[in-house]
């Protein structure tokens, strides 16, 4: 069986070929965001470039969007111009092969349930993808869990810190204050970094701010890796916030693994250590100790790998009911 996996993001489109010899080196291009038609043309071109003159059995694609799994329609999307586009039907007609579409964090979770040889090693896994926002993917019984409409896994919008001393606060726009995304995303780290620069003007972060340079998450992680005390504390707090999300994932799903991916994984043990410590304190007694909490093994390739595996899984044992 030969398939092509595509990872469609707001900045780049990456594709690779998966066959009997494993995952091939692929292609990568900046995403064309001018219009839906322009992006559809690009996706068609990327598949044709990747497969060359060879035959393929299917295409899998991960998109940063809510996807209606039964039809392959992109319901909503904030970073790419595909809102309300029947992506599976359109690409399938253009390419002449089955096309399977799912959320990018969901297919990344599917990838992480496999080892480097693409053998399924985790039957039950939850993935938190932490970048600008917080996404998530769920694998149950070795298969993607999509929920009733295809939108399961929006773990970033679970509420972890809402003040309920009185009446429930009036909701605001997403990400909601009190949500996991609000306290654990890259934007959250940016806010913590600004506070640290203000409180510690003598620190590397404070000096960057005084020079008029941006004080954002990557600068905080870099300063922490160099041993700066203020930056290390900020990353620790960030990791603790992530740990609350990890604890909720374990308490809800009792998975074999919780995986942290996205840009946050670059912080390594600086993030993972505090996340594990907090999770250990908030996981219900009896559940702790059975779940491996780790960083993503596939890194930036998780989306492409997962999209290819999506196509393989759906060809071999369909879970998606294809509608016309």
Domain assignments of the chain as residue spans, ordered by start: 3-116+300-316, 125-296
Sign of CA dihedral 272, 278, 281, 287: negative
Look at residues 83, 2, 103 and name the one whose alpha carbon lies nearest to residue 39: 83
Place of tokens 């960030």: 238
> How far is it, in rounded angstroms, from Cα 234 to Cα 236?
5
230 phi, psi to nearest 5 deg:
-65, -45
The architecture in CATH of the region 3-116+300-316 reads 2-Layer Sandwich (3.30)
Whole-number pLDDT of residue 324: 46
Q: Which residues, at least 6 apart from 97, have a Cβ–Cβ distance to it below 8 Å?
A: 56, 57, 58, 59
Element at 85 (helix H, strand E) = none
DSSP one-letter code for 211: T
Sign of the CA dihedral running 180, 181, 186, 188? negative
Contacts of 198 (CB under 8 A, 6+ apart): 206, 209
Confirm if 28 and 14 have CB atoms less than 8 A apart: yes
- Adjacent-strand bridge partners of 5: 16, 60
CA 165 remoteness from chain centre? 33
Cβ burial of 97 (10 Å; 0-12, 13-18, 19+) is middle
Q: Which CATH superfamily is domain 125-296 in?
A: ATPase, nucleotide binding domain (3.30.420.40)
pLDDT value of position 321? 55
Specify whether the CB–CB gap between 142 and 123 falls below 8 A.
Answer: yes
Q: What b/e readout covers 182-199, taking b as 16+ CB neighbours within 10 angstroms?
A: bbbbbbbbbebbbebbee
Q: CA neighbours within 13 Å on the CB side: how many for 184?
A: 34
Over its length of 324 residues, how does the chain's per-residue pLDDT go in tens digits?
899 999 998 888 999 999 888 888 789 999 999 999 999 999 999 999 998 888 899 999 999 888 887 788 998 877 789 889 999 999 999 999 999 999 988 999 999 999 999 999 999 999 998 887 888 999 999 999 988 877 788 898 898 888 777 888 787 777 778 899 989 888 888 888 888 888 888 888 888 888 888 788 888 898 889 898 888 999 999 999 999 999 999 999 999 999 999 888 888 999 999 999 999 999 999 899 899 999 999 987 888 999 999 999 998 877 765 554
Cα–Cα separations (whole angstroms), residue 306 to 4, 29, 63, 105: 10, 19, 11, 9
- Retrieve residue 120's tokens: 């399924």
Domains 3-116+300-316 and 125-296 share a fold: yes
Q: How many CB atoms lie within 10 A of CB 157?
A: 16
With beta carbons less than 8 A apart as the criterion, state whether 59 and 97 touch.
Answer: yes
């Amino acid at each position: 069986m030969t398939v092509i996996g595509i990872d469609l993001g707001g900045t780049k489109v990456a594709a690779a070929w998966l066959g009997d010899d494993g995952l091939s080196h692929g292609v990568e291009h900046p995403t064309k965001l001018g219009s839906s038609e322009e992006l559809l043309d690009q996706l068609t071109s990327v598949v044709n470039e990747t497969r060359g003159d060879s035959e393929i059995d299917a295409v899998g694609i991960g998109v940063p969007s809510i996807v209606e799994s039964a039809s392959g329609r992109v319901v909503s999307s904030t970073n790419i111009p595909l809102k309300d586009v029947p992506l599976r039907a359109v690409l399938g007609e253009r390419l002449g092969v089955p096309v399977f579409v799912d959320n990018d964090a969901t297919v990344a979770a599917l990838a992480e349930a496999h080892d480097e040889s693409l053998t399924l090693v985790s039957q039950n896994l939850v993935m938190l993808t932490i970048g600008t926002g917080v996404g998530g993917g769920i694998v149950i019984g070795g298969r993607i869990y999509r929920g009733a409409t295809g939108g399961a896994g929006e773990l970033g919008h679970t509420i972890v810190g809402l003040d309920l001393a009185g009446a429930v606060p009036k909701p605001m726009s997403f990400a909601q204050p009190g949500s996991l995304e609000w306290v654990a995303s890259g934007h959250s780290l940016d806010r913590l970094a600004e506070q640290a620069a203000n409180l510690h003007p003598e620190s590397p972060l404070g000096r960057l701010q005084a020079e008029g340079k941006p004080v954002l998450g990557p600068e905080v992680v870099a300063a922490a890796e160099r041993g700066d005390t203020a930056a290390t504390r900020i990353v620790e707090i960030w990791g603790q916030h992530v740990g609350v999300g990890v604890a909720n994932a374990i308490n809800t799903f009792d998975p074999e693994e919780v995986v942290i991916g996205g840009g946050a994984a670059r912080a390594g043990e600086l993030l993972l250590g505090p996340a594990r410590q907090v999770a250990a304190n908030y996981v219900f007694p009896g559940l702790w100790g059975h779940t491996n909490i780790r960083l993503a093994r596939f890194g930036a390739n998780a989306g492409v790998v997962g999209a290819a595996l999506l196509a393989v899984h759906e060809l071999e044992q369909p879970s998606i009911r294809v509608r016309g």
